[in-house]
Structure 1
Amino acid sequence: MILNKNYLTIYFSFFLVGITFAQKNKTVVKDSTIVETLDEVVITGQYNPQSIKKSVHNVIVIDRKKIDQQAANNLADLLNFNLNLNIIPSAQTGRSTISFFGLDSQYFNILVDNIPLVSDNGVGNNIDLTQINLDDIERIEIVEGAVGVDYGANAVSGVINIITKKSIAHDWEIQAFVQEETVSDEYTWFDQGRHIQAFNIGHKINGKWSAKLGFNRNQFAGFYNQREGQNHYTNDGLRGYDWLPKTQLTSKANLNYSGTNFKLFYKFEYFNEDLNYYDAAVRANIDTQSQTSNPSATDRIYTTNRFVNNLSLSGSLTSGANYNASFSYQTQKRDLNEFNYYILTKEKSNQTDETYQSSDVFFSKGTINNLSKSDTFNYQLGYETRFIKGFDTQASGEVTQQDKTQQQNNYAVFMSSEYKLSNKLSLRPGVRYEYNSKFKSQVLGSFSARYLLNKGYELRASIGSSYRTPNFEELYYYFVDSNHDVRGNQDLTPEQGFSTFLNLKKRSWFGETSMTNNLKLSYINLTDKIELAVANTTPLQYQYINIDAYRLIGFTSENTIKQDNWTFNLGATLQGVSRIMNTEVNAENDFLYALQLNTSATYLVKDWDTAFTVLLKHNGKQQNYIAEGSDTEGRTLFKKYTTDAYSWMDASIKKSFLNNKLQATIGGRNLLDITTVATNGNTTTGTHSTNNSSLLLGYGRSYYLKLLYNLNF
């Protein structure tokens, strides 16, 4: 699907209609301070909870209303329409990760209530978004750019902070919902489609104590896409699924105490996922004596178990200082059960079980601020510790099949200060020192500024640094046989990241209509980038080494128009990426540009208590360079390849009944029916190309119905 004049006309026609409607209601522009109390309160990167307008950082907020309107199952469903973000799914592993400003999921942190979430072999980064349940989420805050002073390693491109619901308004709050969803045109009650059931109960014990329990079951029955599933016994390559089936179970419990000067929040979570792999190769197993066959295949079940224990404390001292402290112990293991499955008799033999990925993480972070009693000056002191141990035999290769556990300890202290030079101008410098038991110590810095201009203009600028530590595969991978020699490198150094962002926001009011325009300039520079390169030509050996650099420049425009019963958004971003390979003479280092457009519209019919929502995102053609052969002197030659443009579109209708006790949401995902996107300049172009050089992004157009019941008393 190519971006053409028709697409541009559709996008900007939407925008002009919104502008025209807003102008019809135009009155005297109000000062922004009049509606300051309506601003959303944010906590990510702040000393204390405060409005977005007062925040030094530019924070993007996705609130509960947006989550409900999309009936999003997990974080991947929700973030798919944000600019500068791309969801990267894998049909065969069941994982979905994010590319953020062109950098993969290893370069930013995902936090839950400011605590990084454990992953297969680390903490905070490389998270599978489909494993993050949204039932008890209040809002999601996104901070773009390197924020290493506040969040340390692997926060090169930003952080995503998931804020959970903590307070309870009634003595008892009971919520239950079911959601049925097709997978493309595949659906039955049990064996096809997606089936979700959830139950949550909360109790206000007294004026200070409250507790919650929750359970969610999410069954994805897989995507056949012309294949024949588990029970197919002919060896024709059609057995199994194009998109693997999996079942997720999430159980949560929390306890909340809210006093005058002290708050406590404890959360326990257990997550379980079973992912089923069915091999396409079928063995006939013919018995010549009885002239019968008992076909079988080698199947696998991947099981993930995650336990989370988070404790957060906050309060105020008699001196007026505010403190926050978080403590977390998390474990995650991924097990593999491999067996010979007899398809007709449904029997198993030759079963083997192993745990091939394991992570144990203890995390603690604490801050104290408001130590100065000055109205113009404040500063924050903080510490952070991470104790990580684990192994990944799949990523680290055959040399570690004995499940050799690696350990890494990290200690950090940081401080920042905020100067309010006037009611309009605030400055915040910061510095962080980190000691790592495996890598050299790091000193990170940042400087942010916010200036409130007249007539609703807000100007923000930030400069910051962070770094990315090498992962298991880059450090320990070992695959050597007669044809291959590919190795990790335990002497790798962390990649160094630096970013600067400039943001200009304008807020305007036209009677009952408000408009927000946001322009952003972004620059990210990454050095010592880790890549797999030729370490020796004779014999040919590959090794992960620090050789490359990565640079991104971007321009983003985000525009929102709101009235009492409708909201319209239109945004665009143009990103240029340069990958610099210092060891390759023929490497191309010029910037390659890609365009993203997004728009959304929500209309509320109050008399019907019904909301209509449409979301659309266009990802323009992307370009990159790949190595292709060598010249006569043995130097690598590079060829430019492209990934075709494509667009996502979702729509939903949300209706409330019985004074909001019952809610029904019906909608469609991927309405433009995206499955694969052609790459490498295929002869058959378009989003639905079936050429082997294609990128699998989705399983086609799907529809869902969600019924939710709230009981409060």
Structure 2
Amino acid sequence: MILNKNYLTVYFSFFLVASLFAQQKNTAIVDSTRVTDLEEVIITGQYNPQSIKKSVHNVIVIDRKKIDQQAANNLADLLNFNLNLNIIPSASTGRSTISFFGLDAQYFNILVDNIPLVSDNGLGNNIDLTQINLDDIERIEIVEGAMGVDYGANAVSGVINIITKKNIDHDWQIQTFVQEETVSDEYAWFDEGRHIQAINIGHNFNEKWAAKIGFNRNQFAGFFNERQGEDYYLNDGLRGYDWLPKTQLTTKANLNYNADNFKLFYKFEYFNEELNFYDAAVRPNIDVANQTSNPSATDRVYTTNRFVNNLNLSGRLNSGANYNASLSYQTQKRDLNEYNYYIVTKEKSDETDEEYQSSDVFFSKGTINNLSNSDNFNYQLGYETRFITGFDTQASGNITQQDKKLKQNNFAVFSSSELELTNKLSLRPGLRYEYNSKFKSKLLGSFSARYLFNKGYELRASIGSSYRTPNFEELYYYFVDSNHDVRGNENLNPEAGFSAFLNFKKRSWFNNTSMVNNLKLSYINLEDKIELAIVNPTPLQYQYINIDAYRLIGFTSENVIKQNNWTFNLGATVQGISRVMNDEVNAENDFLYAFQLNTSASYLIEKWDTALTVLFKHNGKQQNYIAEGSDANGNSTFKKYNTNAYSWMDASVKKSFLNNKLQATAGVRNLLDVTSVDINGASTTGAHSASNSSLLLGYGRSYYLKLLYNLNF
């Protein structure tokens, strides 16, 4: 089915804009210092669940309402419009990761209920966002800045904590939905587009015990983009897909026990993904004697299997102290099935199977606080252990998985205290000692403060340290032949990170109107940054070494205004990034600046039970330096290259029927039809270089319809 996207875009946009502004504005202003009646409760980085206003950290919350309005398929869809975050998709691998404050996905942690999530060769970092299903998510909390004291390694730029739903509002709660989505203008039942089906069932056995089970199937049929798919047999480079097709299956179950002074929550999850690669190079296989041909290509199927077992225990002792303990066993394996595929006869030959990536993780964390029985002073004691085993034969090249199996054991103890010196001023210092079986032990520190002024003004400041451990590729990469010599380095040191953040917030109230204005200053410093560098000019040899540094300074303004049934958000950020290449004589280490702007608007039409939402984000031009040659002494010279500016825009309408039993959400993703962005001046070679002339970002404007049914009794 081919859709006329331009006409639909115009009609859809006009409808949304007209609805958003078809209202009367109340301009009467009455100053007030009252506290809002309903405060969002957060848990990330907190001793106990508490309101955002009381937190010493600045926490960004994405609630269930926003998730539903966007009809987001996964975490990548949801986070795409946040400031200081960039989603980095890969059409060739099917993965999407995050750049957070200019640092890639290795520098922050993704948690599920405060437990880091397993990845292909690690824990908590470098997560594929397209693999995180949002069906049972209550909210998402984002804390910016180094969180090493609370969460250990790789929390250099921050943490993202996914909070799952635990309570069931009825004896039986059944929810099912289907979602159909075009991929650009490509759509057909089963064969093109995206097709999602899900069901979730919850039951309260009694006042204390409850359980849930859920299943989700997400089929992405790929994006042709003028390529010709699996059955095309001409050798002209058009076989296959621009974005690879994949199917994801997610099965979840949890058990919840809730008593007065004791809570237990167990969660099981099984995730399966099958990603299909169809090679563009076709072999004709001509039989001259019989004057026939049987064209074939080398195709691959990548299969990921992930098992998650999380157990959380929390409660209150007779002394009044609160305790929280988490245990987790997670495993993720990635298999490769490669074969010679005869395109016309649909037969396979020379089939091989290999398990080339694996991670097995046991994680445990426990804390206890409220030990002082004081309203003005509290402190927390905690421990954390991580036992990680894994291998990645793709990263280690010719070295086999038996030769290079990574094992890391982490043991950490940490403590922090919260001092409420007055009802306005709170301080929180913290320390963490972490032993790592492979790297040197680390002592991490943090200090946070919050001051509540009169008339709704709030000031927060935090400094903290964290570090990033080298990944599998940096440790063990090995690619050596007659033309190449590129190697990892088992003697690498972890990168050391430090951050400082200052937040100034103002809450205001007028007649039927509330406003929140937030100004943020950010600074991140990263030492011993790992880069691939020339270690021997003749013969030419590259190796990962600790040579570079990274500096970021940023200024962000976030503003939210709510009046009656509408909400409007407007934010902007300016980031300056300096990449310090210490081994390069001619390196340019000055700060290069980039600009981001985001805005969103939502309006609720009460009599129709309909919500309208528009989201927009502009990513300004980004700059970097790249090696372009050598000077007379053989030292690399550098030039500046630019990644052009681009913008994203989504829009949706959500309508409820039958007293909220039935919900329909229709919308447009990537309304501005972005597919790729040009990179100017980046075609060169060298240790700090890139060769792409464009960056593939999306698959164009797409439309979706989601139908959800709630049955409660």
Q: TM-score, normalised by structure 2?
A: 0.95
Amino acid at match of 1:51: S
Distance 1:24 1:632 in 2: 70
Correspondence 1:307 to 2:307: yes
Hey, what's the Cα distance between the residues in 1 that align with 2:626 and 2:361? 37
Query: What is the CA deviation profile of residues 17-62 of structure 1, one whole-angstrom value per residue up to 9, with x for unaligned ones?
Result: x99x9983433222243xx441100000000000000000000000
1:474 pairs with 2:474: yes
- Report the Cα offset of residue 680 of structure 1: 2.0
Inter-partner Cα distance in structure 2 for 1:32 and 1:327: 42
Distance 1:396 1:142, change over 3 A: same
The reply on whether 1:29 has 2:56 as its aligned counterpart is no
Corresponding position of 1:610: 610
Q: In the TM superposition, what whole-angstrom CA distance separates every residue of 1:620-672 from its partner, at most 9, and x where no partner exists?
A: 00000011111111000111000000000000000000000000000000000
1:513 corresponding residue in structure 2:
513
Shift of 1:293: 1.1
Tell me the CA shift for residue 291 of structure 1.
1.4
Q: Deviations over 1:237-257 (max 9, x none)?
A: 100000000000000000000
> Do residues 80 (structure 1) and 63 (structure 2) align?
no
Give the counterpart letter for 2:77 in structure 1.
D
d(CA) in 2 for partners of 1:477, 1:397: 6
Matches within 5 A, 1:317-396: 317-396=317-396
The residue correspondences of 1:199-598 to structure 2 (distance < 5 A) are: 199-402=199-402, 404-598=404-598
Query: How far is the alpha carbon of 1:86 from its aligned partner?
Result: 0.1
Aligned-partner residue type, residue 376 of structure 1: N
Distance 1:26 1:529 in 2: 54
Where structure 1 has 5 or more consecutive residues not aligned to the other structure, the ranges are: 1-13, 684-690
Shift of 1:89: 0.1
2:89 — aligned with what? 89
Counterpart mapping for 1:544-693 below 5 A: 544-681=544-681, 693=693
Deviation at 1:504, TM superposition (A): 0.3
Partner Cα separation in structure 2 for residue 380 and residue 177 of structure 1:
43
Q: CA RMSD in A?
A: 1.7
Give the AA of the match of 2:62: I
**Cα gap change, 1:22 to 1:81, in 2 (>3 Å):** farther
The letter for the 1-side match of 2:31 is V
Given residue 601 of structure 1, which amino acid in structure 2 is its aligned partner?
Answer: A
What SS does the aligned partner of 2:483 have? coil
Q: Counterparts of 2:616 and 2:219 in 1: how far apart (Å)?
A: 26
Aligned 8 A contact 1:83 1:573 in 2: yes
Question: Which stretch shows the higher mean deviation, 625-634 or 249-258?
Answer: 625-634
Is the CA contact (8 Å cut-off) linking 1:233 and 1:296 kept in structure 2?
yes
Counterpart contact for 1:339–1:350, Cα < 8 Å: yes
Equivalent position amino acid for 2:712 in 1: N
Deviation at 1:401, TM superposition (A): 4.8
Deviation at 1:575, TM superposition (A): 0.1
Residue 398 of structure 1 aligns to a residue whose secondary structure is coil
Give CA deviations for 1:384-423 in whole Å, capped at 9, x if unaligned.
0000001001112212354632210000000000000000
**CA–CA separation in structure 2 for the residues paired with 1:578 and 1:95:** 27
Letter in 2 for 1:108: F
Amino acid at match of 2:113: D
- SS for the counterpart of 1:679 is strand
Residue of structure 2 in register with 1:10 after alignment: none
Cα offsets for 1:568-620 (capped at 9, x unmatched): 00000000000001111100000000000000000000000000000000000
Structure 2 unaligned spans of 5+: 1-15, 684-690
The offset of 1:682, in angstroms, is 8.6
Per-residue deviation at 1:539?
1.3
SS at match of 2:86: strand
Amino acid at match of 2:412: A
How far did residue 563 of structure 1 move? Answer: 1.7
Query: What secondary structure sits across from 1:53 in the alignment?
Result: helix
Per-residue deviation, residues 415-449 of structure 1 (Å, max 9, x unmatched) = 00000000000000000000000000000000000
In structure 1, the residue matched to 2:6 is none
SS at the partner of 1:130?
A: helix
Distance 2:141 2:430 in 1: 21
User: Would the aligned equivalents of 1:516 and 1:559 in 2 still touch at CA under 8 Å?
Assistant: yes
Give the letter for the 2:182 counterpart. Answer: T
Q: Which amino acid aligns with 2:30?
A: V
Residue 626 of structure 2 contacts residue 682 of structure 2 at CA under 8 Å; is this kept in 1?
Answer: no
Question: Hey, what's the Cα distance between the residues in 1 that align with 2:632 and 2:157?
Answer: 40
CA distance in 2, matches of 1:639, 1:204: 64
Larger mean Cα displacement after TM superposition, 624-633 or 596-605:
624-633
How many angstroms apart in 2 are the aligned matches of 1:463 and 1:59? 15
d(CA) in 2 for partners of 1:501, 1:22:
39
Q: Give distance in 2, aligned partners of 1:137 and 1:477.
A: 37
SS at match of 2:399: helix
Aligned-pair CA distance for 1:498: 0.2
AA of the residue aligned to 1:421: L
Partner residue of 1:5?
Answer: none
On the 8 A contact 2:144/2:157 being kept in 1, the answer is yes
Which secondary structure does the structure 2 equivalent of 1:647 belong to?
strand
**Letter in structure 1 aligned against 2:708:** L
Whether the 8 Å CA contact 2:26–2:511 is kept in 1: the answer is no
3-state SS in 1 of match to 2:315: strand
* Contact 1:560-1:567 at 8 Å conserved across structures: yes
1:133 is matched with 133
SS of equivalent residue, structure 2 residue 156: coil
Preserved contact between residue 643 and residue 681 of structure 1 (Cα < 8 Å):
no
Q: Secondary structure at the match of 2:613?
A: strand
Equivalent-residue separation in structure 2 for 1:316 and 1:544 (angstroms): 49
Cα distance in 1 for residues equivalent to 2:463 and 2:266: 34
Q: Any residues of structure 2 matched to 1:163-178 within 5 Å, and which? A: 163-178=163-178
Work out the CA distance in 2 between the residues paired with 1:618 and 1:576.
17
CA distance in 1, matches of 2:288, 2:582: 62
User: Does the CA contact (< 8 Å) of 2:391 and 2:401 recur in 1?
Assistant: no
Per the alignment, in what secondary structure is the counterpart of residue 455 of structure 1? Answer: helix
CA distance in 1, matches of 2:587, 2:394: 31
Identity, % of aligned positions: 82
Aligned-partner Cα distance in 2 for 1:485–1:81: 41
Contact 1:391–1:403 under 8 Å retained in 2: no
How many correspondences in the alignment?
690
Distance in 1 separating the partners of 2:47 and 2:37: 19
8 Å Cα contact 2:512-2:563 kept in structure 1? yes
Structure 1 residues 22 and 418, CA gap change in structure 2 (3 angstroms): farther
State the SS of the aligned residue for 1:373.
coil
Q: Give the equivalent residue in structure 1 for 2:11.
A: none
Equivalent position amino acid for 1:156 in 2? V
1:692/1:119 CA distance change after superposition, 3 Å: closer
